[in-house]
Amino acid sequence: MQPDDIRSEFKNIISQCKTFDDLEGARVHLLGKKSALLNLFRSIQWLQIDEKKKLGRELNLLKNEIEFLLESTRSKLDSEARDKALSEKIDVSLPGVKYELGSIHPISQTAFEILDILDTLGFESVHGPEIEHDFYNFESLNISQNHPAREMQDTFYIAPNIVLRTQTSPVQIRAMLALKNPPFRIACFGKVYRRDQDITHSPMFHQIEVLHVNKNISFSDLKGTVTLIMKRLFSNKVQIRLRSSFFPFTEPSAEVDISCIFCNQSGCRLCGETGWIEILGCGLVHPKVLKRININPETYTGFAIGIGVERIAMLRFQIPDIRLFFENDLRFLSQF
């Protein structure tokens, strides 16, 4: 084949290309290793110097023309494809894409609100691990070896001395050890785990731990703080009662109940027919707990509170079953 043969042929070949594959085939045929053009380039070496120059120039020119036509055909196919895609996709009569906005989970909303109230009282937010050592979850909190809370029936064990924490109280100990010197004023929000399940108990739930250790802290500081938190959360309408109770790590101890808003205290399934719903445990920090971590209980006293966040959220949003929080049903969640 001579240059003129190639010249008369290549426009025809390229103009017949309808797809990118066709075009690639044409490129290989015209410029590839087995192409007539490359053969001609190879033959240059056998020619006289003048001939070499002449043919070389001609072949390079030809190569440029082929490349130019390939390239411009490629852009033509490109823009045709784009036009086609656009004309297919844009149908202005179709409804637009609706983006669903998420919302904050009612448990988080409730917890953030409580943490905000605590923040205004000067309590600093801290965190602790959900997989906890027996020492922090039980031992350091004066919960003796044979205490029923330590039983397999109540507690999820990971290993003999490692548990899924059953309460946020271990964070009291971790925080005091880390901060070293009183006064301590901390709040901890987090998940806790117990083998517990009915309409007001879930195997995973949330607590907020509140701890204040300082000189001259008394039970009235505790009662004042609890009352203030509840009043801010529920307004003055809701009644609060402190019931004497027992926790190994507080002395004296109390549980706080709130008047049942589902039945107006006439008795229902949710309050177990009592008119009251328990929402938190609290007390003055036991001297043994302070002593064990080298804080002198003669100089310092403190109070601690453990708030059940689900219970508060159930009361605030009038939710009759705790399990609704964790079923991830958007019909439920999108109401908040």
281 binds ligand FA5, rule: CB under 6 A: yes
Q: Is 163 in the site for ligand FA5 (CB under 6 A)?
A: no
Sole binder of ligand FA5 in the list 137, 140, 202, 225 (CB under 6 A):
202
DSSP assigned state of 254: E
Host H or E run for residue 285: strand 276-285
Query: Binding string to ligand FA5 for residues 296 to 325, with x set by CB under 6 A, is what?
Result: --------xxx-x-xx----------x---
Beta pairing partners, 125? 187
From 68-76, 78-86, 202-210, 263-271, span contacting ligand FA5 (CB under 6 A): 202-210
Interface with ligand FA5 by CB under 6 A: which range of 50-58, 61-69, 272-280, 313-321? 272-280
Coil, strand or helix: which one is 188?
A: strand
- Verify binding: residue 128, ligand FA5, rule CB under 6 A: no
DSSP-derived 3-state class of residue 33: coil
Taking CB under 6 A as the rule, does residue 222 contact ligand FA5? Answer: no
Interface with ligand FA5, residue 201, by CB under 6 A = yes
Rg (CA), the chain: 39
Choice from 128, 170, 283, 302 touching ligand FA5 (CB under 6 A): 283
Quick one: tokens of 214? 């300082």
Count the residues of the shown chain that bind ligand FA5, applying the rule CB under 6 A.
24
Are 207 and 308 in contact, with CB atoms under 8 Å apart? yes
Phi first, then psi, for residue 109 (nearest 5°) are -55, -45
Say which amino acid occupies 155. T
For the bound state, the minimum distance from the C-beta of residue 195 to ligand FA5, rounded and expressed in Å, comes to: 9
Nearer to ligand FA5, 105 or 201 (CB): 201
- Token look-up 């946020």 returns 168
Number of other CB atoms surrounding residue 26 within 10 Å:
21
Q: Smallest distance from the beta carbon of 255 to ligand FA5, in angstroms?
A: 6
For residue 213, state whether it binds ligand FA5 (rule: CB under 6 A): no
Element (H, E) at 282: strand 276-285
Which of 62/141 has CB closer to ligand FA5?
A: 141
Q: Does 280 bind ligand FA5 (CB under 6 A)?
A: yes
- By CB under 6 A, is residue 282 in contact with ligand FA5? yes
For the bound state, the minimum distance from the C-beta of residue 236 to ligand FA5, rounded and expressed in Å, comes to 21
Q: Which long-range contacts (CB under 8 A, 24 or more apart) does 100-103 make?
A: 103/333, 103/334, 103/336
Name which of 144, 118, 200, 204 is nearest 168 in CA terms: 204
Residue 185 in the binding site for ligand FA5 (CB under 6 A): no
Q: Is 247 in the site for ligand FA5 (CB under 6 A)?
A: yes
Q: b/e map of 170-187 (b: 16 or more CB within 10 Å)?
A: bbbbbbbeeeeebebbbb
- Among residues 65 and 196, whose Cβ is nearest to ligand FA5? 196
- For 195, which DSSP code? S
| 257 is an interface residue for ligand FA5 by CB under 6 A | no
Residue 207, interface with ligand FA5 (CB under 6 A)?
yes
> Among 243, 209, 191, which residue's Cα sits nearest to residue 114?
209
Q: Which residues bind ligand FA5 (CB under 6 A)?
A: 167, 169, 194, 196, 201-202, 205, 207, 247, 250, 253, 278-283, 304-306, 308, 310-311, 322
